[in-house]
Amino acid sequence: MTLRDCYIILGVSPNTTVEAVRRRYRALARQYHPDHHPDDPEAAAQFRQLAEAYETIQQCRSRARAASQNLNRPKFAGTDELYEEFFGISDGRSPWRQSPGADFRYDLQISLAAALRGTQTVIRVERTFNCRPCRGTGLAPKGGYATCPQCQGRGRRYGGPGLLRFGPVCHRCRGRGQIIAQPCDHCHGQGSTLGKLEYRLRIPPGIVDGTRLRLDGEGGEGFRNGPSGNLEVVIHVAADDFFTRIGNDIHCRVKISSAEAARGGCLLVPTLDGYRTVQLPQGAQTGWICRFPGAGAPGGPGLPTGDQVMEIVVTTTIDFYPRQKELLEEAYRLGSERQTGASHE
């Protein structure tokens, strides 16, 4: 994984500050954490990829700082947030500065036919909006910030005396060191409210299960004119009772009776676009295959469309008409008599 790939995975530019990269990583890590998606291996893989990208960026930046500066403080393996995590040291800048909005995920299930042929649908997504009365600050009119009484403005709660007296992040101020003295009555100090928006989504033909469609800027609104987050729509293709997709081909199995197989003739086969007629040969056996060219999923750029592959399954007839039973019993009797006569000879 190159450094450029790492920035793309986190969705930040190489010029993004350390704090902004950290906030972006934490937001994405919360979104894809395996605890929130226990049965989603894709989310777990995305979480590991995010962690690897974040660690790579931090290591590269740490090496660059070490090469260009003569730091007066000890160098562990260190980055700025390592010192913040262990010692509560920060750069002193305002914790209420501009920040990007949160990213959101929407899971959409569609049918196999819709995935193969494409469709349009409307989704309603819950997302956050900056509180209009307080403009996203969480403050009441003419209100302000106060030093957190729990951590005395340090953002952490310390466990004891000495240099390594680090403790957990302060829950009162969430590591900011400051609290809202008079919260907004509309959002209760959160700075944002929840609402729903409708999006008309176009599903391209041939889309596969697990595809992620990204809508830039359609996530949560940023703080203090920060950029809005993104909306990611994850496509889930429902299993079909008749068709199975393998690559760009769709496969199906058609059951016929032994009498139909012996007789042969015209057979109607369901397709995604209606029915097609197949000329079944006399005496067809299980495994006989017929292919409909171009009846599968669309191919990629410069690639042909897939086919529909039909396989015949010959079944034994269980329920007989009275005349069929008579004929079968007569055939069995004649067969038994012939075997008996042959044994006497």
Would you state the pLDDT for residue 213?
93
Residue 108 has pLDDT above 90, yes or no: yes
Q: What number is the average pLDDT over the span 14-29?
A: 80
Residue 74: pLDDT band with limits 50, 70, 90: very low
Q: By the 8 A CB rule, do 295 and 236 touch?
A: no
Would you state the pLDDT for residue 288?
94
- Domains assigned to the chain: 1-90 (1.10.287.110), 94-144+181-239 (2.60.260.20), 244-344 (2.60.260.20)
The neighbour count for residue 76, using CB atoms within 10 Å, is 10
Q: By the 8 A CB rule, do 136 and 228 touch?
A: no
pLDDT digits (tens, 9 = 90+) for 182-199: 899 988 888 888 888 899
Look at 25-29, 75-79, 217-221 and tell me which has the smallest mean pLDDT.
75-79
Would you state the pLDDT for residue 62?
73
Q: By the 8 A CB rule, do 42 and 105 touch?
A: no
Residue 156 has pLDDT above 80, yes or no: no
> What does pTM read for this prediction?
0.57
Whole-number Cα distances in Å, 311 to 239, 249, 257, 263, 341: 19, 13, 14, 17, 42
* Percentage, residues of the chain above pLDDT 70: 78
pLDDT digits (tens, 9 = 90+) for 287-334: 999 999 999 998 877 788 899 999 999 987 555 556 656 665 666 577
Residue 163: pLDDT band with limits 50, 70, 90: very low
